[in-house]
Amino acid sequence: MTIHLEEPWRLRVTLSAKELLDYQLTFDDLDYNCPETRKILGLLIQAAAEQTNFNIDQGKLLIEVFPGQAGGCTIYFTKIGTPCKKQRRLKIKKSTPSVVPYIFEFASSGDMLSAVEQLYMRNEFRDLKSKLYLLDGKYRLIIYPDTDENFTVVLGEFAEAVYRKNIATAYTTEYGKLLAGDNAIKKIGKALAVN
């Protein structure tokens, strides 16, 4: 039997197949609900505690048993919830629901420019948060909508494809070339000098 104190709260005990047989056990026989297994685990941890000063008096104990080579096993005794260790309280932040953007894909720069021009000419669409990317020879306009989604009708005339999935946005932003950052509609519209 080898005993190793890995951390002050974690102890490893390795038993060979012969040592298991000395206890009249095999790996398959180990069952914590069995009184005989519990007795043997108690003896093992008591022997290990004497050698390593592994204190099991306070807190709960997690016991994990893994098969070893040639019929033996490795047993991990891990103290959990020990009072000596300061407990950290984790809070789950409630995030505000994120807006799923629209991605409009255009086959040509002409289609993309015509679509942006149409949006820019309508005041309600000028200030939409938007970005323009080039990906695989096609233009992708990402629009983060407010509440009004009427722009989809305007863009549907020019766009070859429309995506509305977070994964499509992530793929575009990671692999596409950014051509116009925030407020792409406004920037491109001004560059086209459209009023």
Taking a C-beta distance cutoff of 8 angstroms, is the pair 102, 145 a contact?
A: yes
Q: How many CB atoms are closer than 10 A to CB 98?
A: 8
- Short-list 54, 63, 23, 52, CA closest to 39: 23
- Beta-carbon-side half-sphere exposure of residue 169 (alpha carbons within 13 Å): 14
- The CATH number of 102-191 is 3.30.70.1950
Taking a C-beta distance cutoff of 8 angstroms, is the pair 192, 132 a contact?
A: no
Helical spans, DSSP H, in 2-57: 17-22, 35-52
As a whole number of angstroms, the distance between CA 73 and CA 13 comes to 8
Tokens of 135: 């990906």
Q: How many CB atoms are closer than 10 A to CB 75?
A: 22
pLDDT digits (tens, 9 = 90+) for 71-107: 888 888 888 875 555 556 666 555 555 678 889 999 9
Strands 10-15 and 2-7: antiparallel
Please tell me the least confidently modeled range out of 3-7, 66-70, 146-150.
146-150
Mean pLDDT of 21-40: 82
pLDDT digits (tens, 9 = 90+) for 100-153: 888 999 999 999 999 899 888 888 888 888 999 999 999 999 988 876 567 777
Domain ranges of the chain: 2-80, 102-191
Q: How many CB atoms are closer than 10 A to CB 101?
A: 21
- Position of tokens 């938007």? 130
